[in-house]
Amino acid sequence: MGNYLIALGGLVIFSIFSLMTNSSILNNKKIALESEFVITATSIAQSIIEEAKNKSFDQNTVIDTVTVLGSLSSTLGREGSESTNVPLPDVMANNTFKSSIYYNDIDDYNGYSRTVSTPYSGNNTVSVQVSYVSQTSPDSVSASRTWFKKMTVTVTNPLISVPIALTYVFTYH
* pLDDT single digits (tens) 139-151: 888 888 999 999 9
CA angle centred on 26, ends 22 and 30, rounded to 5°: 170
Judged by DSSP in three states, 3 sits in: helix
Q: Which of 113, 110, 103 is nearest to 62 (CA)?
A: 103
Query: Are the CB atoms for 169 and 146 separated by under 8 Å?
Result: no
pTM for the full predicted model: 0.84
CB 115 within 8 A of CB 92: no
> How far apart (Å, rounded) are the C-alpha atoms in residues 136 and 107?
21
Rounded to 5°, the CA angle 77-171-112 comes to 25
Q: In angstroms, rounded to a whole number, what is the distance separating the alpha carbons of residues 132 and 139?
A: 10
Render pLDDT for 69-120 as a digit per residue (tens, 0 to 9): 888 988 888 887 788 889 899 988 888 999 999 999 999 999 999 999 998 8
pLDDT tens digit sequence for 3-50: 888 888 888 888 898 888 888 888 888 888 889 999 999 999 999 999
Nearest Cα neighbor of 151 from 164, 162, 138, 160 is: 138
